[in-house]
A and B are shown apart, each in its own frame.
Chain A
Amino acid sequence: MTTATASHDNHDDHGHHGPAKGIMRWVLTTNHKDIGTMYLWFSLTMLFIGGTMALIIRSELFQPGMQLIEPEFFNQMTTMHGLIMVFGAIMPAFVGLANWMVPLMIGAPDMALPRMNNWSFWILPFAFGMLLFTLFTEAGAPNFGWTFYAPLSTTYAPSSVTYFIFGVHMMGISSIMGAINIIVTILNLRAPGMTLMKMPLFVWTWFITAYLLVAVMPVLAGVVTMMLMDIHYGTAFFDAAGGGDPVLFQHVFWFFGHPEVYIMILPAFGIVSQIIPTFARKPLFGYASMVYATSSIAFLSFIVWAHHMFTVGLPLQTELFFMYATMLIAIPTGVKVFNWVSTMFRGSMTFETPMLFALAFVVLFTIGGFSGLMLSIAPADFQYHDTYFVVAHFHYVLVPGALFGIIAGVYYWLPKWTGHYINENLGKFHFWMSFIGVNVTFFPMHFIGLAGMPRRIPDYALQFADFNAIATVGAFIFGFSQLIFLFVLIKTIRGGEKATDQVWEGAEGLEWTIPSPAPYHTFAEPPHVK
């Protein structure tokens, strides 16, 4: 569609058309690199919006008492922070990385369904525009938590819930289309010789993630549609007074919600599995077991959902089943961590910025995994459930887990995208500030949770004051450190030391065989993989 205005001044594209000029390049593009770039900028924007909300929350919690905002707005902030970070920052960032890197890693010329690719991105700004707009309506934004338990989100919801439902539908459509595109690309467009068991781990983890998305996003769409019916059409799926069942909501939501958790972490596993071998200059230890472990985690993710519901009054047998199934997840996850450590063992390591983030990922994600294992012990979960211990747990797996994985991936592939190395000093500064900030924020939350502070409260008893103050200080350190990230990104795009084709000394794979920056069109002729 860009042929009419295409320019021919790109010397690296071997006779293909370069990008169109002006804004229409981005609106109409079907190029996987352009779409990947847009996804990444979109998620960075959402990261800053969601991060600002987090800082509002932390500011209110700096001291006991209500200082800055009212409880009603506090609930809107916790809800919007969760929704925006999960659906707006983490998920689109991974889709952006997949768009950029999956075709380059498997030697494909583009994604298999490029026009759908354009559409699946352009739905997102409208979905989030609608969600954010509710903040400015009279009824206020959704205030029932990102898990939107009925009947708080149905009978007792603000009128903005309908916009929220529509927004979730749009995000779901976007995710499903993105996932289908990734599956089809991986199955059909691999270069000759690239068998499934030769695919880079990032491709493997995304392949499995995409199946999870296709499986569970329709379940999410189903549950919000049931809410819509309850609110507007007089049904009573979740209304006990009409013969419905509020617990049904939680079962359906978490049947989506638990695989969703792995949707947000499996691609990060893939990124880290690319980075560690590169900087250890040693092949990934246990490639096949990594693939099997990822598949096992994905399978288990479908049969553990009720561990989010240990206190809703499930029968004893159900409780035991979900406790055992949840504990099992520790095994494949452990295998992955052991493999990463073995990859480093007797390697020849250097510690460039992407490696630092990957190493922090391994340590801090594992800490989040440990608290996850503790939470799986059902009797103990009666004390942990819905406290800051849970908040600490999932922030450890999502921030120094998923987000550090994304940042590591961005630093790792940025020279390939822009043709420039980052300024290592600035990158390391960003890393250390983030590392300190994230731990000062979230580690004390373990303590206040164990000491008994429930989550989602705008004000708290005096014994929780000190650690809350520390967490707030950490949150500001972490939040403002991300401005360094933005600065590094812009600076690297504008210039810097020229990157070689291979970029990193130990890097292996098809994406390192093409020039840096990657030309607009790559692998028009498929490479041969031995």
Chain B
Amino acid sequence: MLFRTWQRLSSVVLGLVSAPAAMADWELNMPQGITEVSQSIYELHMLIFWICVWIGVVVFGVMFYSIFKHRKSKGAVASKFHESLTLEILWTALPTVILIAMAVPATTVLIQMYDTTNSDVDIKITGYQWKWEYNYLGEDVGFFSNLTTPEDEIYNLAEKNENYLLEVDKHVVVPTGQKVRFLITSNDVIHAWWVPEIAVKKDAIPGYINESWAFIPEGEEGIYRGQCAELCGVNHGFMPIVLEAVTGDEYQVWLEEQRAGKIAEAQAALGDFSYDELMVKGADVYARSCAACHGGEGQGLGSVFPALAGSDIALNDMAAHIDIVLNGKPGTAMQAYATQLSDVDMAAVITFERNAWGNDTGETVTPKMITDAKK
């Protein structure tokens, strides 16, 4: 570890004095990304960086020259000059020219970034505390995307995997070679949707729909990871984004699969589930969708998020329990899960909550009860 640290430190030094390209290898620098826009941004970044470096070399050069040469211990006698209009004009005018030279390419790139017209695919992204919802407009495909890193890895009880904190249950899939427009909003507080490799970062604000776009060229298929970039509450650090770029054909197949999956889900709700099946499934759904606030053991969190273990709602009125999970509790952080979870998942998690952690009601909530409650 220490060796790696030293390796990186020395590469910093080397990178700074040799070539800018050397720096990217060690993740010291902004990623160049995979889109035209992200590469333009990277170039702007490097341009302004080198301008700063050169100004710094000149200014600090003069300063350190004075520090070494014009010191009293070397017998330097202070001269008395203290004004020069020529110099003042020069060092006002020169930076102005440099800034204008910088503003021109920056303006061009910004105009390009704001051009969200003529998109091929439109995806509405909604931020929730603390997950993302994706809706593919006009495709009848939509889903929630939750963190899947197990709590044991976060609390150092298990070894952390390679994509620690940057892994989710459902990827947002986009086609390459097509212009994808993102429509970004929020259901509660402000979030920000950010994937560095495509240089898209936009705030998700309740009441607003912000636009952004990306054109991932063919040949750049792959998985790209990002995170929420605006403080959105206790689990701000735990709502990553996983973007999967696939070819146009694969994208069509994926859309079909999603639609088929939805139908299968609806049919599954009509089937029978045993108590044991629901408990196993419920534990899984709970860990993904509920544990962030209500605690891994149903113990709640602080004074804002109530415990479920031994709580009135989980032990008594079942209809009220189903209602609060379906419709949420207005004015609080408790969201409506009616659209987030399938009827089977909903039945499973409510069954789980009514029987786990000593809540031994022995009651089973069936998917059909959920379907009925929705009517």
Q: Which residues of B contact A460 (CB under 8 A)?
A: 165, 237
Q: Which residues of B contact A312 (CB under 8 A)?
A: 203, 205, 210
Q: Does A197 contact B (CB under 8 A)?
A: no
* CB pair B83 A451 closer than 8 Å: no
In this complex, the interface size class of chain A, counting residues with CB under 8 Å from chain B, is 35 or more
B129 to chain A, nearest CB (A): 8
* CB pair B208 A382 closer than 8 Å: no
A452 to chain B, nearest CB (A): 5
Q: Does A284 contact B (CB under 8 A)?
A: yes
* CB pair B211 A380 closer than 8 Å: no
Total contacting residues, chain B, CB less than 8 A: 103
Q: Does A313 contact B (CB under 8 A)?
A: yes
Q: Does B234 contact A (CB under 8 A)?
A: yes
Q: Which of A302-361 contact B (CB under 8 A)?
A: 311-313, 316, 319-320, 323-324, 327-328, 330-331, 334-335, 337-338, 341-351, 359
Compute how far the CA of A462 lies from the CA of B232 in the bound complex, rounded to whole angstroms: 22
Q: Does A65 contact B (CB under 8 A)?
A: yes
* CB pair A334 B91 closer than 8 Å: yes
* CB pair B237 A459 closer than 8 Å: yes
* CB pair B59 A151 closer than 8 Å: no
A233 to chain B, nearest CB (A): 15
Contact with A452, one of B31, B52, B88 (Cβ below 8 angstroms): B31
Q: Does A125 contact B (CB under 8 A)?
A: no
CB nearest neighbor in B for A309: B203
A450-B29 contact, Cβ under 8 Å, with A158-B303, A383-B45, A386-B192: yes
Q: Does B287 contact A (CB under 8 A)?
A: no
* CB pair B66 A459 closer than 8 Å: no
Compute how far the CA of A331 lies from the CA of B301 in the bound complex, rounded to whole angstroms: 50
* CB pair B234 A72 closer than 8 Å: yes
* CB pair B106 A373 closer than 8 Å: no
Q: Does A187 contact B (CB under 8 A)?
A: no
* CB pair A66 B154 closer than 8 Å: yes
Q: Which residues of A contact B60 (CB under 8 A)?
A: 363, 366
Interface residues of B (CB under 8 A from A): 1, 4-5, 8-9, 12, 27-31, 40-41, 44-45, 48-49, 52, 55-56, 59-60, 62-63, 66-67, 70-73, 76-84, 87-88, 91-92, 95-96, 99, 102-103, 106-107, 109-111, 113-114, 129, 153-156, 160, 162-166, 188-190, 192, 194, 196, 199-203, 205-208, 210-211, 225-238, 301-304, 331, 333
Chain A to chain B contacts (Cβ below 8 Å), 20 pairs:
A65-B153, A72-B234, A140-B303, A159-B303, A289-B88, A313-B211, A323-B110, A327-B99, A341-B59, A344-B66, A347-B78, A348-B70, A350-B72, A373-B48, A379-B41, A380-B30, A386-B201, A458-B237, A459-B238, A466-B1
Interface residues of A (CB under 8 A from B): 64-67, 71-72, 75, 138-140, 143-145, 149, 151-152, 155-156, 158-159, 240-241, 244-247, 280-289, 311-313, 316, 319-320, 323-324, 327-328, 330-331, 334-335, 337-338, 341-351, 359, 362-363, 366-367, 370-371, 373-374, 377-380, 382-383, 385-387, 447, 450-452, 454-463, 466-467, 469-470
Task: Beyond A151-B188, A349-B66, list 20 extra A-B contacts (CB 8 Å).
Answer: A71-B238, A149-B230, A151-B190, A156-B233, A158-B303, A241-B207, A244-B207, A313-B208, A330-B99, A331-B99, A346-B78, A347-B66, A347-B78, A379-B40, A379-B109, A383-B201, A454-B229, A457-B237, A461-B163, A467-B8
